[in-house]
Each structure stands twice: as C-alpha cells, then as structure tokens.
C-alpha cells in the first residue's frame, strides 16, 4: 500500500549503489541469488530459534532484492531476471512462516498453515492479474520499473517486510500476527479480484 511512496525514498540510493556494482562487473542475477541465500539462511536461523540473526539476514536479503533491480537498470534488464526476482521473493515469503512452524509446530502450526494458504491465494491473484495485464498490454510504474505488472493492494513488499520484522522481534506472538496478516492477504486478493472484474470482464 505504501510501496510507491517508499520507492521515492529508497530508489535514489539503491540506484547509486547499483551503478557502482554494475561498474564492478556484478550481474543482477547474482545479486538476486545472493539475496535468496540470505533468505534461506534467515529461515534456517529462525527454525533454530535464532530470531535476531534471522531478522538481520532477512533485512540483508531485502537489501539484495532492491539492489538487483538497480543493477539491472544500470546494465540490461531481462525478463528472466524479473522472473528470478519474483520467484526468490515467494521463496522467502514461504520459508519464514515455515521456519516458525518448524521451530514450534504445536504453537504455530495452524496459524502458519493459514498464513501460507493466504499467501498462496494472494500470489495466485497477483500473478493471474499480471498475466492478464500483459495480454492487454497494460503498464504501470507505480512500484518502479518491473518485469511484471505489479497490481497494488493492501499488502505489498513494505508491509510484508514490516510483518516479518514484527515476527522476529515478537516470536511469541506469531500465531495472532499470522492470523491477522493472513486475513489481510485474503482481503488483498479479494480487492484484486474485484479490480480484475472491473478491468477484464
């Protein structure tokens, strides 16, 4: 919901860093894959109960997620790069709740399953909308220059990062946080469905 505002603040420094990495010969795909490694490391740390190290790794992975696009803009953006980027995002979104369930399945299992199911529905609404937008040749740069059509919603990248930060800072509150965020994910999907009906029917 706030990503388009955040981008005005974070894009200029990210672009400068991306230009420096590009001059050093770093490829955007490599940055994406490095971010994925950090994301998986975060999930492993959380599963072992190391919540603050997990949080640090999540934040580093999100820095890489911003930098890969900046490097791509400084060199040559590719459709594969955009595909790898969104796939890596979804791996993180799945791995973190799974790690909390792994850490304490008795307390977190049902809420974690609901959260993952809500992610699945929201992801389907997002990717389906993007496919139809491509078919209709719709374009938007509200969330920056992207390979896919990013339809706005109640929950976007910024809100999801804030949610993961809250989970790591207050791991004992995983269940209520997961139920609440999952409900908001489903509401986001419902709003996107209504927008798809308006645009594509």
Domain assignment of residue 155, given as a range? 3-200
Distance CA 73, CA 147 (A): 11
Is the separation of the CB atoms in 164 and 96 below 8 Å?
yes
pTM over 0.75: yes
For the stretch 155-163, contacts whose Cβ atoms lie closer than 8 Å and that sit 24 or more positions apart, written own/partner, are 155/1, 155/122, 155/181, 155/184, 155/185, 155/188, 156/1, 156/2, 156/3, 157/3, 157/89, 158/1, 158/2, 158/3, 158/6, 159/1, 159/2, 160/93, 161/58, 161/59, 161/62
- Digit-by-digit pLDDT tens for the chain (201 residues) are 555 666 677 778 888 888 888 889 889 999 999 999 999 999 999 999 999 999 999 999 999 998 998 998 888 888 898 899 999 999 999 999 999 999 999 999 999 999 999 999 999 998 888 888 878 777 665 555 555 555 666 677 788 999 999 999 999 999 999 999 999 999 999 998 988 888 887
Assign residue 100 the CATH number of its domain. Answer: 1.20.120.1760
Is the separation of the CB atoms in 85 and 78 below 8 Å?
no
- Both tokens of 50, joined, read 């190391």
Number of domains, the chain: 1
Which residues, 6+ apart, have CB-to-CB distance to 64 below 8 Å? 31, 32, 34, 35, 38
């Amino acid at each position: 919901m706030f990503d388009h505002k955040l981008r005005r603040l974070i894009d200029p420094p990210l672009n400068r860093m991306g230009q420096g990495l590009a001059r050093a010969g770093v490829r955007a795909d490599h940055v994406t894959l490095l971010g994925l490694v950090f994301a998986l490391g975060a999930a492993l740390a959380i599963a072992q109960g190391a919540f603050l190290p997990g949080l640090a790794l999540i934040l580093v992975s999100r820095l890489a997620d911003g930098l890969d696009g900046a490097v791509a803009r400084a060199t040559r953006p590719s459709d594969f790069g955009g595909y790898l980027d969104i796939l890596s995002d979804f791996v993180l979104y799945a791995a973190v709740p799974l790690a909390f369930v792994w850490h304490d399945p008795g307390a977190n299992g049902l809420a974690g399953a609901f959260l993952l199911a809500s992610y699945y529905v929201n992801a389907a609404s997002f990717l389906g909308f993007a496919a139809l937008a491509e078919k209709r040749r719709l374009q938007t740069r509200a969330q920056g220059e992207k390979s896919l059509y990013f339809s706005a919603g109640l929950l976007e990248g910024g809100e999801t990062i804030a949610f993961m930060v809250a989970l790591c800072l207050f791991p004992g509150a995983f269940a209520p946080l997961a139920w609440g965020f999952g409900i908001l994910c489903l509401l986001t999907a419902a709003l996107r469905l209504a927008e798809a009906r308006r645009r594509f029917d």
